[in-house]
Amino acid sequence: MSNNNLLTYKVTTKDTLNRADIFIKGKFENFTRSQIKKLIESNNIKINDNIIKPSTKIESKDKITITLPELESTELKPLNQSLDIKYENKNLIIINKPSGIVVHPSKGHQNDTIINALIGMGIKFESYLGKPKPWLVHRLDKDTSGLLIIAKNEITYNYLTKIQKTRMIKKQYIGIVQGIPNSAKAIIDAPIGRNKLNRKTMSITKEGRHSLTEYAITKSNNNMSLLKITLLTGRTHQIRVHLKAIGHPIIGDILYGKKSKYVNRQMLHAYKLSFKDVQNNNIKVESEPEKDMKEFIEFYFNN
């Protein structure tokens, strides 16, 4: 290895020769075969400085070089923050994400995210391009709390993202909105895309992606409602955008509504997940809202 972004191997006469993808997998065990295939297809693996195919035959004295993409070679720094684990097996983990923390490293949040906390907790994740990688199946907004699925390996990640696309992972939320919707129960069907006037937000647009959100009023008072919400698709900010579109934004959502005199964040919590795992086991997990949201519900809806 000449630097952090370049891995090299010189084939010797003692090596058992094989096709490139199989041979390289045997020499670089941190990579899965599918990862090696992707690196070959993106021309990041070469033999004697030549572009190859997965089926290229390895020969004695060949020089193999693997160039790691810059983004994937970034070291994830551990964060000393313990997360509430609601479910865990050898293939996946489900945590109860607290509000106020970003899920994934990004500009302005490089070392203080859920991903950094998972690394800091010492949970074993399969490596990707030589680095430990928590395999995020979906995300939650910074100020949304609740259940989050992280795969521990690529096979589980691929399976979960596949069944997620076919709506086989049921995700349910609790949300508190301004006002009382006209229908006690309804499905909001409106396409969502990037807001052309404000790139930080999403909006209802004809060019957007098909989006479905189901809600049911659980309780209401004179100026707000407690909803149970089911995501039927998974778009960025979907619940927040759809509820704003029908005139009932989430209380405390300053991006799609307005600042609240009651709370300091949006009152949205992912409380229930259900799906079948890779072994066809039924996984069902629930979590209660955080203290601020529980107290809000108790004071305004249960008194």
Catalytic residue (one of 21, 62, 141, 143): 141
Contact 160, 92 (CB under 8 A): yes
Specify whether 277 is catalytic: no
CB atoms near residue 212 (< 10 Å): 17
Residue 105 CB-half CA count within 13 A = 17
Distance (Å, whole) CA 65 – CA 199:
40
What DSSP string runs through 21-90?
HHHHHHH-TTS-HHHHHHHHHTT-EEETTEE--TTPBP-TT-EEEEEPPTGGGPPPPP-----EEEEE-S
Nearest to 69 by CA among 103, 31, 114: 31
Nearest to 228 by CA among 243, 246, 244, 209: 243
CB atoms near residue 49 (< 10 Å): 7
Contacts of 6 (CB under 8 A, 6+ apart): 65, 66, 67, 68
**Helices 33-41 and 20-27 sit at what angle, rounded to 10 degrees?**
120
In this structure, the dihedral spanned by the alpha carbons of residues 6, 7, 11 and 17, taken in order and rounded to 10 degrees, is -120
Element (H, E) at 160: helix 154-165
Distance (Å, whole) CA 230 – CA 167:
11
**Catalytic positions, written as ranges:** 141
